[in-house]
Amino acid sequence: MLNADQLTNLRTRSEAVASSVHRAWMHYQVLRGLQSAASRDQESLLTHPHAFDAIYRAVFDALYVTIGQVTDTSKHSESLRNLVKMARGYPVQRTVIRQLEQILLTTQPRDGSPLHRLHRWRNQHTAHRTLAASTSQFYEENQLRLGEIEE
């Protein structure tokens, strides 16, 4: 049985993770909407190409930052990994922990996976602004399509 502090800790961390997941989904939906609008009305897009590009890039940056929050592995982050770690230390039903662990497995970036490429964008392009991230090779190797992100 969870005591009041344990319940508060789990609830707070799970709400933080859920908030990041919700924000990531919202950013993804905005990108889908922008892409759909651009494909339906290209003339409108051409009247403000810089504005469209700036908005798209800003929302994309926000998307991979929030996905990075969910999948973060640092010790003090409000991430899925740390939620699972906390739950393991509390008297939580093992079936719940196994479900969380299965979800956690799907959020681990594998080489070449869309999540791996998202992490590379976040780490090398936005968070640390490396020279490698400014090359055309980086863009080619880490190209992402919205459908891949949804997976």
Report the pLDDT value the prediction gives residue 48, as an integer from 0 to 100.
Answer: 83
| pLDDT given at position 79 | 93
Pure H helices in 4-108: 4-40, 42-47, 49-71, 80-88, 94-106
Q: Which two tokens stand for residue 27?
A: 């950013």
Q: If you ran DSSP here, which 8-state letter would residue 127 be given?
A: I
Which residue's entry shows tokens 């929302």? 59
| pLDDT, position 109 | 76
Q: What is the mean pLDDT of each run of 10 residues along the chain (151 residues)?
A: 94 96 96 89 80 91 91 91 94 90 84 86 85 91 86 72
> Which strand (E) or helix (H) includes residue 147?
helix 146-150
Q: Which long-range contacts (CB under 8 A, 24 or more apart) does 97-102 make?
A: none
